[in-house]
């Protein structure tokens, strides 16, 4: 392969409408796609918060027919995807709208895949396994973290194997993402912290990924800056819409970065952990982050130096070992500021679980772009350190 060809980078993104009130444009976009009947995907928590009714009202006012599907768990299960796809078919829908966090959005992507391919969702694990386009997809995120609304990832829980599978394809990048900071006002502080740290991990992993490039780097660094500068303040002042907007913007940029550069060992290990214990994804990432940074540091010291600077560490006059130490301290400090200081052991992970967790993590597509090649034993050691 020529040098020029190996440097080619593609960048995919949905059409994005960003800002307060963006969710109210849902009917205009649905009409543009020729909506006959919309499948509106969400979950009970988001429904209770009132955001589903908000979207329903927009569709009703535009005289667009719809049906609601809210049987989605916090880590969406393959059976729920299949049930949603059945409803999509039975109701004669031709467009999907999801409102919620990563779970309803990933479930909606899964429903789209099943409805266009007619096969079980678990058959699509891996990279570029889709052969036909999915129905038009409009996503409205209500958390500032998962970035499912801009990414080419769908993460589904295989409940029989107790593992999360990753489906990576341009086909699951939504057509439109309506990113409205107002929708995050109903998150509690714990969810704000989990999703915010998830976004930070997206940005850090994308920046050091072997798939990174100039287009993803600028988004990743901006995301780190925005989240570092605003997340802890948002936890202290949850009613500040300006802070919400900044964290939401950081989350979006992190999503654009990782969707195109892919991720690394934190996410590979987190998917295994989340499928096994059904814990919040951002919490899993938080507990693993500094251990994976420590493991990867020697492989790409220059990039980690830039991350340290972006996190506000004054690295002048420091050698590589000192920068590494200060970077780890800053990451741990930020986690503690937002209330996520626990280790895996607190949540019931035992040494005896580690071989099984590692066997699943090493098969996750995200491990392929980790800057340092990782063996199963490497992953086991990282889980042990995180206990």
| Coil, strand or helix at 96 | strand
**pTM across the whole model:** 0.95
Q: Are residues 252 and 298 in the same domain?
A: yes
Each residue's pLDDT tens digit, 264-323: 999 999 999 988 888 889 999 999 999 999 999 999 999 999 999 999 999 999 999 999
Asked which of 144, 160, 184 is the last residue of a domain, the reply is 184
Residues 191 and 165 in one domain: no
Q: How many domains does the chain have?
A: 2
Is 318 in a helix, a strand, or coil? Answer: coil
Q: Looking at the structure, tell me whether residues 275 and 362 fall in a common domain.
A: yes
Q: Which residues of 223-234 are buried (b: 16+ CB within 10 A; e: fewer)?
A: bbbbbbbbbbeb
Asked whether residue 191 falls in the same domain as residue 152, the answer is no
Same domain, yes or no, for 237 and 88?
Answer: no
User: Given 169, 184, 199, which residue is the final one in a domain?
Assistant: 184
Nearest to 110 by CA among 76, 143, 140: 76
Same domain assignment for residues 54 and 170: yes
The CA distances from residue 124 to 98, 127, 153, in Å, are 20, 8, 12
CATH number for the domain harbouring residue 280: 1.20.1090.10
| Residue 317 domain boundaries | 187-386
Q: What phi and psi values does residue 118 have, to the nearest 5 degrees?
A: 70, 25
Same domain, 134 and 152: yes
pLDDT tens digits, 70-109: 999 988 999 999 999 999 999 999 999 999 999 999 999 9
Residue 41's CATH number: 3.40.50.1970
Residues 291 and 359 in one domain: yes
73 and 124 both lie in a single domain: yes
Question: What mean pLDDT value characterizes the chain?
Answer: 95
State residue 162's pLDDT score: 87
Give me the pLDDT at residue 3, please: 46
What's the pLDDT score for residue 10? Answer: 87
Instruction: Mark whether 197 and 160 lie in a shared domain.
Output: no
């Amino acid at each position: 392969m020529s040098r020029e060809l190996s440097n080619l980078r593609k960048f995919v993104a949905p059409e994005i409408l960003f800002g307060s009130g963006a969710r109210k444009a849902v009917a205009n976009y649905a009409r543009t796609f020729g909506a006959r009947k919309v499948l509106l995907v969400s979950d009970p928590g988001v429904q209770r918060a009132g955001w589903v009714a908000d979207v329903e009202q927009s569709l009703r006012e535009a005289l667009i027919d719809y049906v609601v599907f809210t049987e989605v768990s916090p880590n969406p299960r393959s059976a729920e995807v299949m049930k949603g796809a059945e409803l999509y078919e039975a109701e004669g829908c031709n467009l999907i709208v999801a409102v919620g966090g990563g779970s309803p959005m990933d479930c909606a992507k899964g429903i789209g895949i099943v409805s266009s391919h007619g096969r079980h969702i678990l058959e699509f694990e891996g990279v570029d396994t889709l052969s036909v386009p999915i129905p038009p997809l409009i996503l409205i995120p209500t958390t500032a973290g998962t970035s499912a609304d801009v990414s080419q990832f769908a993460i589904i829980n295989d409940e029989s194997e107790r593992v999360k599978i990753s489906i990576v394809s341009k086909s699951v990048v939504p057509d439109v993402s309506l990113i409205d900071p107002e929708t995050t006002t109903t998150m509690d502080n714990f969810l704000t912290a989990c999703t915010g740290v998830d976004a930070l991990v997206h940005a850090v992993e994308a920046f050091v990924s072997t798939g990174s490039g100039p287009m993803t780097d600028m988004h990743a660094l901006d995301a780190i800056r925005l989240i570092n500068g605003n997340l802890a303040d948002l936890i202290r002042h949850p009613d500040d819409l300006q802070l919400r907007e900044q964290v939401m913007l950081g989350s979006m940029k992190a999503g654009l970065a990782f969707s195109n550069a892919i991720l690394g060992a934190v996410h590979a290990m987190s998917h295994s952990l989340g499928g096994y214990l059904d814990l919040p994804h951002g919490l899993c990432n938080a507990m693993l982050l500094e251990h994976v940074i420590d493991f990867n540091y020697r492989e790409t010291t220059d990039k980690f130096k830039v991350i340290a600077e972006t996190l506000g560490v004054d690295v002048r006059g420091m050698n590589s070992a000192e920068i590494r130490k200060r970077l780890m301290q800053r990451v741990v400090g930020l986690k503690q500021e937002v209330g996520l200081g626990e280790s895996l052991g607190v949540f019931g992970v035992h040494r005896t679980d580690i071989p099984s967790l590692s066997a699943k993590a090493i098969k996750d597509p995200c491990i392929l772009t980790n800057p340092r090649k990782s063996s199963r034993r490497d992953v086991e050691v990282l889980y042990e350190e995180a206990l």
